[in-house]
Chains A and B, each alone.
Chain A
Amino acid sequence: MAENPIVAAVERPQAVAPQEADFDNRNSDWFIDKAVQILVFLGGISAIVFIIGIFVFITKEGAGFLFADLDIVEFFTSPRWRPTSEHNPTYGILALVVGTASVTGLAMVVAIPFSLGAAIYIAEFATGKTREFLKVLVELLAAIPSVVWGFIGLTIMNPLIIQVFDVPVGLNVLNAGVILGLMAAPIMTSIAEDALNAVPDRYREAAEAMGATRWQVTIRAVLPAAKNGLLGAVLLGVGRGFGETMAVLMATGHSINLPSSVFDSVRALTATIAAELGETAVGSNHYMALFTIGIFLFVITFIINLTADLIVRGVRKG
């Protein structure tokens, strides 16, 4: 060390004896950390890989029909789905689309008012234990498997409809619509309730400070603030109804029909695949046409989910 401190400072005194070897030594912990980072990244992108994979594989299986024999006009406008006809097979999904749409539509008529009403009650009116209990109950209802719902449509709703409305067949739009509505309602309730809970309490306090009752607070402050989230809930309900398979397979009657009333039997897009895929030969036009329906379902639900996500995200940003 220099004797004159000023000189020492100018000459930049030697720093502490360096034991810095380990500063440059990448030990096992360093490499393990890197390896884990890569592994979890692979996990992270797996969801993207699977979504792309789903699209690629169903397109691959349907390609031979989709890009060759498919008559796109007939596909969307003909109500005749006769893939097994020996001389003149036709592949029109109009009746199936109408079947799916009518069942989903009726389901929403059933589910929207009740799920929004229930969500408002749970989020804005119920308190304490009641609230917790209702939330748990709604969550449990959402867990009932679709095959059980289909079974209920078949064994409980079917005779009920025949008896009450005096119709010959109880497996129809009404049956499947109600079943699907009961199925979708708990999920829509949960999501709508989340949307209501996401409204900051200061909105409510501001309205209450002006002397509004709970009901007025809900109508004037909470619902407008939560409207995007509620719309998202409805859209997800629509998506769920659209893609539901087992329940509509069992409760619609599964007959190809352009329905004129809720008492007509119909057939859904999803149910058609579920019922027919097992009967077809791999690579046949029928088999590939079913995959083409799959592509259609994938694209529609993708758009619905994307829209719902954008709407809900809009709330969070605003």
Chain B
Amino acid sequence: MFVATELNQQDRKVQGLCGILFMLMTGLLILPVLLILGTLIYKGGSVISAEFLFSEPTNGMTAGGIFPALYGTIWLVGVALLISVPLGVAAAVYLSEYAGDNWFTRAINLAIINLAGVPSIVHALFGVGAFVLFFGFGTSILAASLTLAIMTLPVVIVATRESLQAVPHAFREACWNMGATRWQTIRRVVLPNAVSGILTGVILEVSRTTGETAPIMFTGAAFFLPFLPESVFDQTMALSLHLYVVATQVPGVPEELPYGVALVLIAIVLLMNSLSIAFRMWLRGRKKW
């Protein structure tokens, strides 16, 4: 073993080279994206102003602001959360607290993986077939939000299940031994200690839902509307679709306008994501048992 010093030195050289090579690859993966983000900020930054955020588009969407799209996105995301959070938390509670290790649980897990993996445009087709036509909601916030909610359901389920399973099993047994029902145990001990983790997942879902475009194109989001939505049965504009529209569908848009829209969209998405990550790190650093 000790004779092979020279070889070891060579090994060390290879080792160093490999480290550098992989670091370069990581860099090459990240660098273009950072450049692109820089370009967005550089070109779109000049457009951003309070007026841009809070006024309506004018001149056939070639000027003015993005307020109706921003407002509509809040509607869409809000309604989608109202649907997917209770449903997702219930599903996660079932999987973490009730389900046994059997084929049925595996089938549910497979369904969750597939819900996340089905192309967004297929979710859109489902939304059209089920909510717009079959249930008769028409193209509306309700139909679009339902489609979004189902599409992003796995985000809530996975985050919630992880935070539930992070609560040690011994706590549950201690409660059961005292005569607590499963639900009393979940409500008094498990959920209170998982709620911050669930919140992390919810924030992540806000980020995902905000950026989705294809699922809302035919279910409730409109290219342009002269009025703001007043109920879930109205159509609405949405920020993500608005970016598509001003970038591809409207002639004569000044170059920097779509950059501004893209910048606002990506700012919201990354802000929400960073918030979720920061929150998760804060939770990890906090010792509760």
| A and B form one complex | yes
Chain A interface residues toward B at CB < 8 A: 29-30, 32-33, 36-37, 39-48, 50-51, 53-54, 57-58, 60-61, 113-115, 117-118, 120-122, 125-126, 134, 136-141, 143-148, 150-152, 154-156, 182, 185-186, 189, 211, 213-216, 218, 236, 239-240, 242-246, 250, 270, 273-274, 277-278, 282, 290-291, 294, 297-298, 301-302, 304-306, 309
Within 8 A of A (CB), among B108-136: 108, 110-115, 117-126, 128-130, 133-134
Alpha-carbon separation in the docked complex, A57 to B123 (Å): 10
Q: Out of A44, A145, A236, A290, which one reaches B90, CB within 8 Å? A: A44
Q: Out of A37, A54, A117, which one reaches B21, CB within 8 Å? A: A117
Chain B residues within an 8 Å CB radius of A45: 108
Q: A145-B269, A246-B214 are in contact. List 15 more A-B contacts (CB 8 A).
A: A32-B183, A47-B115, A50-B115, A117-B22, A140-B274, A145-B266, A147-B211, A150-B247, A213-B14, A215-B18, A273-B124, A278-B217, A282-B133, A297-B121, A298-B122
Alpha-carbon separation in the docked complex, A50 to B1 (Å): 61
Q: Does B107 contact A (CB under 8 A)?
A: yes
Q: Which residue of A lies closest to B106 (CB)?
A: A313
Q: Out of A30, A141, A215, which one reaches B33, CB within 8 Å? A: A141
- On whether the beta carbons of A250 and B119 are closer than 8 Å, the reply is no
- On whether the beta carbons of B128 and A61 are closer than 8 Å, the reply is yes
- On whether the beta carbons of B119 and A236 are closer than 8 Å, the reply is no
Chain B residues within an 8 Å CB radius of A134: 26, 30
Most buried by B among A42, A47, A189: A47
Chain B residues within an 8 Å CB radius of A243: 117-122
Q: Does B66 contact A (CB under 8 A)?
A: no
Chain A residues within an 8 Å CB radius of B110: 306, 309
Q: Out of B93, B123, B259, which one reaches A155, CB within 8 Å? A: B259
21 example contacts (A-B, Cβ-Cβ < 8 A) are as follows: A32-B181, A51-B115, A53-B126, A58-B125, A60-B134, A118-B22, A118-B25, A118-B29, A139-B273, A143-B270, A151-B244, A156-B39, A213-B12, A216-B11, A236-B117, A245-B121, A246-B213, A246-B244, A270-B121, A273-B125, A306-B110
- On whether the beta carbons of B29 and A189 are closer than 8 Å, the reply is yes
Chain B interface residues toward A at CB < 8 A: 1, 8, 11-12, 14-15, 18-19, 21-23, 25-26, 28-30, 32-33, 36, 39-40, 86-95, 97-99, 107-108, 110-115, 117-126, 128-130, 133-134, 150, 153-154, 157, 181-184, 186, 207-208, 210-214, 217-218, 240-241, 243-244, 247-248, 258-259, 262, 265-266, 269-270, 273-274, 277
Alpha-carbon separation in the docked complex, A278 to B19 (Å): 51
- On whether the beta carbons of A51 and B29 are closer than 8 Å, the reply is no
Interface SS, A side: helix
Knowing A47-B108, A145-B240, A250-B248, the reply to whether A41 touches B94 (Cβ < 8 A) is yes
